[in-house]
Structure 1
């Protein structure tokens, strides 16, 4: 049985996830509009970039959304986005 402290920590994690979800959903929408991918494929692209750039998914999402306001992608994210898109394209061609 979880302790009170563990339950509080879990509650805090869930709150953060709920706060960040709209940002991630917007980034998926950006990918869907730009690359004609599905929401799930957009999620997989974000996850790939996150894992390979050692950046939290919501941080990748925020950076991607910022590009719609003519902000450049941070180098560590921009470095991994082409590989994620190439991987997605290859999986579509299978």
Structure 2
């Protein structure tokens, strides 16, 4: 049974940057309780928080929404949220959505490479202009979630896929066509109104859907593997 996401060491020392380890699956079902823990941890750490997400085995756009909301909340308080380490599931999502740099720490010698980032210094404290740019980036990123959710729902209803399988189909097709996740999701949503998918995208979606169905059969009957 999948492990729901939970936070370990959720509180930093007063006046210092907090360090939080998150493990399990980060999705809509588990995000609300985790949101409470993370917001509480942020309020207890004056400088902000460093997240260790190496133990996150699954992360969809609901999980991304939680991270973005936490980042925006921190920015408004003059704090920072840095992802020091992350699992492939988290790193893949940050890359596909173009949000990796929002959680990037300043370049440091000997830094762990398990979640490589484009190093980008945090905005200088007290800079209203830079602060507004960061908040605008966060809000733009969060606006893409509804489109991705709708596209996933279309795949689920059309091809009888589970939420996780539909998510994997979108991510796989996005990677294999070098298309941003929200752009590909928009293409899928537009098919409802009769728009045709680009040929390359259609081929990759078909291949990903076929694989998802085969995996589902294999899990249901191990003898078929």
Output the TM-score relative to the length of structure 2: 0.38
Matches within 5 A, 1:36-47: 36-47=160-171
Are 1:50 and 2:50 counterparts? no
Q: Which protein is richer in helix relative to its size? A: 1
Decide which of 134, 152, 156 is 1:32's aligned counterpart. 156
Q: Check 1:93–1:66 CA distance in 2 against 1; reply closer, same or farther (3 A cut).
A: same
CA distances 1:7-35 after superposition (whole Å, capped 9, x unpaired)? 77764443222100000000001001101
- Which is greater in Rg? 2
Q: 1:18 to 1:90 in 2, by over 3 A?
A: same
> Of the two structures, which has the highest relative contact order with CA contacts closer than 8 Å and spacing of 6 or more?
1
Structure 2 CA distance for partners of 1:83 and 1:8, relative to 1, 3 Å: farther
Distance, in Å, in 2 between the alignment partners of 1:13 and 1:37 is: 32
Equivalent residues, number: 94
- Using the size of structure 1 for normalisation, the TM-score is 0.86
Unaligned regions of 5+ residues in structure 1, if any? none
Q: Which residue does the alignment assign to 1:21?
A: 145
Q: Deviations over 1:50-71 (max 9, x none)?
A: 0101101111110011110011
Structure 2 vs 1, CA of residues 15 and 37 (structure 1 numbering), >3 Å: closer, same or farther?
same
Which has a greater percent of strand? 2
